[in-house]
Amino acid sequence: MRKFESLHNQMVIGGVTAKELAERFGTPLYVTDEIAVRENFKRIQQAFSCHMPANIHYACKANSNLAILRILEREGSCIDAVSIWEVESCLMAGFKPNKILFTGVSVSDEEMKALVGRGVTINIDSPSQLIRLSKIGTDIPISVRVNPDVGAGHHEHVVTGSKMAKFGIPKGEVVRIYSEALGLGLRPVGLHAHIGAGVQDVAPFVQVTEVLVSIARELETSLGLVLEFLDIGGGIGIPYRPEDKEMDVGLLAREVTSLIKSGCSARSVAVEPGRYIVADTTVLLTKVVDVKETPDRRFVGVDAGFNTLIRPSFYGSYHHVAVANKFGMPGEITYDVVGPICESGDFLARDRMLPRVAEGDIVAVYDAGAYGFTMSSQYNSRPRCAEVLVKDGNASIIRDRESLDDILRHQRMPSRLMV
């Protein structure tokens, strides 16, 4: 969990106080520290590349804002994209097609045609997808997503590598799929697996790497196929709670690269971090609009709900919270921090010891950079919030706050209802 500077009991983000940001740009508001994004990327890039050639494919589903993408493109990142629209956004941000790996599930022919037209490498998720892709073209660079029967993650909804998951091709069928791909005139370049999200332990990554290395070795001996890369996927967790420990990415890199170098001839390793790069770079600022006490609970009502940050409600996820304009002051009262959505499940935090909260205070929700805005919605007809990028005391708007016009823009009234 990232530590923030305190200046006269005011939380400081990227050289700007949270209070100033909230007053200038309004709330709710996502605030991202540009330097933190760059630091996180460099840390994981250096951890792997010091052992063997490595490509860090940022999983842009975590945060697809064009400014964030541009920062990472300039740092030398590659991309993990899961839709043609993510691909288009990354191209717009300056990424070259050969830097993008598309890993979709239930991919339509129309989407594949668009992907082929863009020249990106396509990760094959099913035998059907392989056949349908071969009918679109040949000499298309592909990898295959194996279901490794190694699953891990912070919630059952994000475990992707177990045999019960919808993702990938069972490991026992992968060699046959590569043989078929070669016969169809496609160009296999890699092998991919992804175990889940929010993983804090090195062991599952070691297990999945062992599966990938074993398959790569079999491809070499049976088909004479030497792959350009093995992709261990993403899912590297972060410490959301103050007592959580950080993932040892140095140990992770050493273990994974050692297995690859000693076990097969793959030329490079690929890793797909999303959360690890952006989660702790961003806080969600939200204003206290109501303080309520009942015989059983004390509630801090804020202007951000699960329409703004759905992770606590959807996954039961913990996000640390602080009162940004009383930063560092000791906790006095236990509160639930709840939003304005008409649902009992609309909460950001429960049972948190905070300084005495008053209406008008600013609450900061930590680690909101991954799956924050990208999973937000217009539920209850509430416009989505703004995003701001800060660096060295300067703040720039990187997404305008929506209006009611934005919500209604694509709605149409049939003429028969106009009478």
Please give the Cα distance from 88 to 66 (Å, whole number): 11
Please give the Cα distance from 104 to 125 (Å, whole number): 7
Q: Do 80 and 272 meet the contact criterion of CB atoms below 8 Å apart? A: yes
**List 90, 264, 342, 385, catalytic entry:** 342
In order of 42, 59, 119, 284, 316, the CA distances from 62 in angstroms are 18, 6, 23, 15, 18
Q: What is the DSSP string of 121-152?
A: EEEE-SHHHHHHHHTT-SS-EEEEEEE-S---
Q: For 14-83, where are the alpha helices, taking DSSP H only?
A: 18-25, 34-49, 66-75
Q: What interhelical angle do 174-183 and 127-134 show, nearest 10?
A: 10
Please give the Cα distance from 122 to 100 (Å, whole number): 9
Please give the Cα distance from 399 to 383 (Å, whole number): 12
Residue type, 274: G
Q: Which of 257, 171, 165 is nearest to 211 (CA)?
A: 171
Q: Which residues contact 158 (CB under 8 A, 6 or more apart)?
A: 196, 197, 198, 235, 315
Is 342 among the residues known to form the active site?
yes
Q: What interhelical angle do 249-263 and 34-49 show, nearest 10?
A: 30
DSSP tag of 284: E
Cα 367 from chain centroid (whole Å): 12
Please give the Cα distance from 268 to 79 (Å, whole number): 16
Catalytic positions: 342
